[in-house]
Chains A and B, each alone.
Chain A
Amino acid sequence: MSKVIRSTAFALTFGYIAFGIVALVLFAAPLWYAWQVTMEDGRSDILHADTQRLTDVFHREGATGLKTFIDARVGMQLPAERILMLADGSLNRIAGNLKEWPATVPAQAGMYTVTLDLSGTPTESVVVRTALPGGYNLLVGRDVAKFAPLTRHFWSGLAGAVVVLSIAGVLGGVLIRRAILARIHSIRQTVLAIVQGDLSHRLPSSSSGDELETLSHTINGMLDQIEQLINGIRDVSNSIAHDLRTPLAELRSRLEELSLTRPTNEETFAEIDGAVADVDRVIRIFNALLRLAEIDTGMRRSGFVQVNANELAAEVVEFYSPAAEVKNVSVSFASNGPVLVSGDPTLLAQAVGNLIDNALKYAGVKGSVTVEVQYRPDGAVEICVADDGPGIPDTEKPKVAQRFYRGDASRGTPGVGLGLSLVQAVAKLHGGTLELTDNSPGLRARMIIEPGALLSGRPRVLTSEPRGGTLEVKSEPSAMAL
């Protein structure tokens, strides 16, 4: 029972019922008051008019005249509810339809509500007592008992309304409570299942669009994010176990061998340098993982600014172009003027850098790499890096962006297998995706991200710092060979 009392539906129901009753009373009270006042005013007007008429008769014709007048009225079978009586100074009856002067009427002249004995039954009446010259007393009254049922009806009507309101309220409350409880119960079951570790559960959702539905939707969104983060952590822990152990094992055996064989100084120092390089490799992997974790949490979105993706890509291309020259790979950059995105310039530069670095790695001898930045027909922004290397077989395409995955073609090349993961994470952070397609020959990697919302007022285009005429690719459609 206490559970029922504490339930929200219960509290709501009773709150509403109480509110309804208060409203009803507030509505009825002035009505009751107005009715009472009108009734009493009318009654006293009639009684005073009657008194006035009888007093006039008394002044004109004296006590005898009034007696005759009253006798005539009583003889004309005065309606039962009317009270009329004339008495002398010692309150002895002279005329009227009462047997004797009622003892309940006070001695002073005025209007009173008293109980009178009318034809054997005590009846509530309103009377006006008037003192006439010569010590005579006049009593004019009305029996108000016939109004009592009216009052009773009023009160019972009000009570009936309260009862109906309460029953309807309780019934409604029970129904609402049952409906809400059923849905809350199903939400609770789902959440309990999730708490027990099965993150695949989702709250039931229909398309009713009510408040609970909206809440379920929001919670489901939260669960998606949590599941993704947890899977991310799981993936990374697995990958760390697998891929970080390799360089650590190398490092360990190098040091142990050094300790066991005690070679000459020169060899020792060479081995130590090698060991430091091993450690640096581990640190690199750690840094890449931390950067990925930082991106995955979505925290970096707070640092988003308006970035000209075109300029940014051009600078990265310029940064990598000497490396391309050394490899005898030609890099071309094409763009149609400013392409604005809202994003993190450092991450975007790193992602484009990773794509170019990959492309350079796999481009054939005297090969070529193409970088393009443009708006797509649907308004999204596309940064495309294509090479003419061996490409990636379709079966491997979905896997290459996984953490630490290294395709067959990448065996023996430097890298830790996190480059495309980072590109994908950055694309996702910017509300986009990474698409890998065939360039036949080679690979075409497209980073598709949402365009930047135009910040009100003048666009804030972020450049690292002012510099003179970096590249001639800013405005007109042009291609640049590097």
Chain B
Amino acid sequence: MKLLLVEDNERVTRFVVKGLQEAGHTVDNADNGREGMFLAASEPYDVIIMDRMLPGQIDGLHIIESLRKSGNRTPILILSALSDVDERIKGLKSGGDDYLTKPFAFGELLARLDALSRRSQGSGTQTILEVADLRVDLLSRKAVRGERSIALQPREFKLLEYLMRHAGQVVTRTMLLENVWDYHFDPQTNVVDVHISKLRQKIDADFERPLLRTVRNAGYMLTSEG
């Protein structure tokens, strides 16, 4: 992926750029709003990572608004130290596609970037999702692995659907909370892990090759590889 990072903090920039490059992405970075605006408007990027408070009195939200006004539809992830729900809503309203609060775990950022780039490629019209021999029919709401039909609770189905839509990508616990349950808070305990292990029991337990894998320090991934 080709990414743009607009962020004025040097340490955060170094950490994010290094991490993204190690993950195999190309990263441009701008440390002020003017340069960020210029790069975002002139180069094609897969995802833009935008800090909210930038030097020179330019709020990242203004940049996003002007980009959207000029017809630029590149997915944008907002990075901000402002954590209030209202701020989050403001960010998404201005045209951002996702909102990540600082401080953040790198795994969380990477997973969200993957999800954003995938979203922009558009896969919303599919009615059947497939990963290896696991098949989910969104219309009849049935899941089948190999020859065997798997009985799922409605919420388990939603969880599996989300994982399958992001097959091959790391999905974090927060992403699952937000997208499967629509909960924007910290549930204190490892409830998401328990839901995952229940789902794993159903789709992986009796099969030779497990599909749902735990990614250390990040989250989970549904994949047919290795």
A155 contacts B by Cβ under 8 Å? no
Whether B185 pairs with A350 at a CB distance below 8 angstroms is yes
User: A residues within 8 A CB of B181?
Assistant: 315, 319, 464
Q: Mark B162-186, 1 if CB is under 8 A from A, else 0.
A: 0000000000000000000111111
A343 CB to closest chain B CB (Å) equals 14
A-B contact count (CB 8 A): 71
A346 contacts B by Cβ under 8 Å? yes
Whether A464 pairs with B155 at a CB distance below 8 angstroms is no
User: A residues within 8 A CB of B84?
Assistant: 290, 294
B23 contacts A by Cβ under 8 Å? no
| Contact A470/B83 with A319-B183, A323-B194, A415-B188 known, Cβ cut-off 8 Å | no
Stretch in A132-140, A209-217, A281-289 touching the partner = A281-289
Q: Mark A335-372, 1 if CB is under 8 A from B, else 0.
A: 00000000000110110011001001000000000000
| Contact A467/B183 with A323-B191, A357-B188, A357-B189 known, Cβ cut-off 8 Å | no
User: A residues within 8 A CB of B124?
Assistant: none
Q: Which residues A293-337 have CB closer than 8 A to chain B?
A: 294, 299-300, 303, 315, 318-320, 322-323, 325-326
Q: Mark B106-149, 1 if CB is under 8 A from A, else 0.
A: 00000000000000000000000000000000000100000000
B154 contacts A by Cβ under 8 Å? yes
Residue of A283, A291, A303 touching B185 (CB-CB under 8 A) = A291
Q: How far is the CA of A279 from the CA of B217 in the complex (A)?
A: 14
B24 contacts A by Cβ under 8 Å? no
| Contact A319/B191 with A349-B185, A467-B158 known, Cβ cut-off 8 Å | yes
Q: Mark A464-482, 1 if CB is under 8 A from B, else 0.
A: 1101111000000000000
A419 contacts B by Cβ under 8 Å? yes
User: B residues within 8 A CB of A79?
Assistant: none
| Contact A470/B154 with A353-B185, A464-B182 known, Cβ cut-off 8 Å | yes
B226 contacts A by Cβ under 8 Å? no
Residue of A353, A467, A470 touching B187 (CB-CB under 8 A) = A353
Q: How far is the CA of A306 from the CA of B187 in the complex (A)?
A: 23
| Contact A283/B103 with A464-B182, A468-B154 known, Cβ cut-off 8 Å | yes
Q: How far is the CA of A464 from the CA of B180 in the complex (A)?
A: 10
Which of B105, B154, B189 gathers the greatest number of chain A CB atoms within 10 Å? B189
Q: How far is the CA of A322 from the CA of B103 in the complex (A)?
A: 30
Whether A346 pairs with B154 at a CB distance below 8 angstroms is no
A414 contacts B by Cβ under 8 Å? yes
Whether B183 pairs with A469 at a CB distance below 8 angstroms is no
B93 contacts A by Cβ under 8 Å? no
Residue of A287, A294, A315, A414 touching B189 (CB-CB under 8 A) = A414
Chain B residue with the shortest CB-CB distance to A415: B188
Chain B residue with the shortest CB-CB distance to A464: B182
Q: Which residues B22-49 have CB closer than 8 A to chain A?
A: none
Whether A294 pairs with B194 at a CB distance below 8 angstroms is no
Whether B187 pairs with A357 at a CB distance below 8 angstroms is yes
Chain B residue with the shortest CB-CB distance to A294: B84
B194 CB to closest chain A CB (Å) equals 4
Which of B141, B190, B194 gathers the greatest number of chain A CB atoms within 10 Å? B194
A29 CB to closest chain B CB (Å) equals 64
Chain A residue with the shortest CB-CB distance to B181: A319
User: B residues within 8 A CB of A415?
Assistant: 188
Residue of A280, A318, A346, A419 touching B155 (CB-CB under 8 A) = A318
B138 CB to closest chain A CB (Å) equals 12
| Contact A346/B188 with A283-B103, A290-B83, A290-B84 known, Cβ cut-off 8 Å | no
Whether A322 pairs with B186 at a CB distance below 8 angstroms is no
Q: How far is the CA of A465 from the CA of B154 in the complex (A)?
A: 13
Residue of B83, B182, B183 touching A287 (CB-CB under 8 A) = B83
User: B residues within 8 A CB of A325?
Assistant: 194
Whether B188 pairs with A354 at a CB distance below 8 angstroms is yes
Which of A280, A300, A350 gathers the greatest number of chain B CB atoms within 10 Å? A350
User: A residues within 8 A CB of B2?
Assistant: none
User: B residues within 8 A CB of A346?
Assistant: 85, 183-185
B86 contacts A by Cβ under 8 Å? yes
Whether A349 pairs with B194 at a CB distance below 8 angstroms is no
Chain A residue with the shortest CB-CB distance to B103: A283
| Contact A468/B183 with A294-B85, A322-B191 known, Cβ cut-off 8 Å | no
A333 CB to closest chain B CB (Å) equals 15
Whether A287 pairs with B186 at a CB distance below 8 angstroms is yes
Whether B182 pairs with A284 at a CB distance below 8 angstroms is no
Q: How far is the CA of A427 from the CA of B136 in the complex (A)?
A: 41
Chain A residue with the shortest CB-CB distance to B177: A319
Whether B155 pairs with A470 at a CB distance below 8 angstroms is yes
B101 CB to closest chain A CB (Å) equals 8
Residue of A287, A326, A357 touching B194 (CB-CB under 8 A) = A326
Chain B residue with the shortest CB-CB distance to A326: B194
User: B residues within 8 A CB of A419?
Assistant: 188
B122 CB to closest chain A CB (Å) equals 20
B195 contacts A by Cβ under 8 Å? yes
Q: How far is the CA of A288 from the CA of B194 in the complex (A)?
A: 23
User: B residues within 8 A CB of A469?
Assistant: 154
Q: How far is the CA of A396 from the CA of B155 in the complex (A)?
A: 38
A363 CB to closest chain B CB (Å) equals 13
Q: How far is the CA of A304 from the CA of B154 in the complex (A)?
A: 28
Chain B residue with the shortest CB-CB distance to A273: B217
Q: Which residues A130-166 have CB closer than 8 A to chain B?
A: none
Chain B residue with the shortest CB-CB distance to A422: B185
User: A residues within 8 A CB of B154?
Assistant: 467-470
Q: Which residues B49-84 have CB closer than 8 A to chain A?
A: 83-84
Q: Mark B184-211, 1 if CB is under 8 A from A, else 0.
A: 1111111100110110000000000000
A55 CB to closest chain B CB (Å) equals 101
Residue of A303, A350, A468 touching B141 (CB-CB under 8 A) = A468
Known: A323-B189, A467-B154, A468-B154. 18 other contacts (CB 8 A): A284-B186, A294-B84, A294-B85, A303-B85, A318-B155, A319-B181, A319-B187, A320-B191, A323-B194, A325-B194, A346-B185, A350-B185, A357-B188, A464-B181, A467-B158, A468-B141, A469-B154, A470-B154
25 A–B contacts from the bound complex (CB under 8 Å): A279-B103, A280-B105, A283-B103, A284-B186, A290-B84, A294-B84, A294-B85, A299-B86, A318-B155, A319-B155, A319-B181, A319-B195, A322-B195, A323-B190, A326-B194, A347-B185, A350-B183, A350-B185, A353-B185, A353-B187, A357-B188, A357-B189, A414-B188, A467-B154, A470-B154
Minimum-distance CB pairs A-B, first 3: A464-B182, A350-B185, A322-B194
